[in-house]
Amino acid sequence: MASGDSLLIFTPQCNEAPSSNPATFALRNGHLILQFDTTTQEIAIFKAVLPRNYAGGGITVYLHFAAATATTGTIGWDVSFERIGAAQQDIDADGFATAQTVTAVTVNGTAGNVMISNVAVTNGANMDSIAVGELFRLRLRRDVANDTATGDADFLAIELKET
């Protein structure tokens, strides 16, 4: 695998909504989206197996989203990995690694225009030491304490690329 190749892509329909504060499914011009509130830290969770072609480096998480109505301010996110693996995590409890902050981006002057932001997550503790072929979860949350855009953030996709 070459550095920078896509490992996984998650779209809204891949979300396994948590029991509290889930992001909300909606349609925007026929596009399935997850809406994240401006004041409550809502959550989306995505589950996958780390592909066998992963070479063991870090992973850059790319978020594709738009502002529902805002034309000013910033939108920020955080992501966390949880290793499930074999005998690594009791699935009756959460065990997410420390959240990695995705730098807030300035909202496009036109609501609905897609923005892409990213964060590089280093291999090891920041990725909860997920190994090739192991099951894991990725948690996405809007960083409502630090972003300034009003209204919902509309999530479209996450891409995981090896760094």
Q: What is the pLDDT of residues 36-65, one digit of tens each?
A: 999 999 999 999 999 999 999 899 999 999
How do 74-83 and 59-67 pair as beta strands? unpaired
The confidence score (pLDDT) of residue 120 equals 97
% of the chain beyond a pLDDT of 90: 91
Q: Is the pTM of this model over 0.85?
A: yes
Tell me, yes or no, whether 114 lies in a domain. yes
How far is residue 139's CA from residue 80's CA, in Å, rounded to a whole number? 5
Structure tokens at 153: 């953030």
Q: Largest alpha-carbon pair distance within the chain?
A: 48
The confidence score (pLDDT) of residue 127 equals 97
The confidence score (pLDDT) of residue 65 equals 98
Cβ-based neighbour number of residue 149 at 10 Å: 23
How far is residue 123's CA from residue 42's CA, in Å, rounded to a whole number? 26
Q: How many structural domains is the chain composed of?
A: 1
Residue 75 confidence (pLDDT) above 60: yes
Say how many Å lie between the first and final Cα of the chain, rounded.
11
For position 80, which CATH number holds? 2.60.120.260
- Domain of 110 in residue numbering reads as 6-162
How far is residue 154's CA from residue 94's CA, in Å, rounded to a whole number? 25
Average pLDDT over residues 61-88: 96
- Whole-Å CA distances, 65 to 11, 53, 112, 124, 131: 11, 27, 8, 28, 29
Tell me, yes or no, whether 1 lies in a domain. no
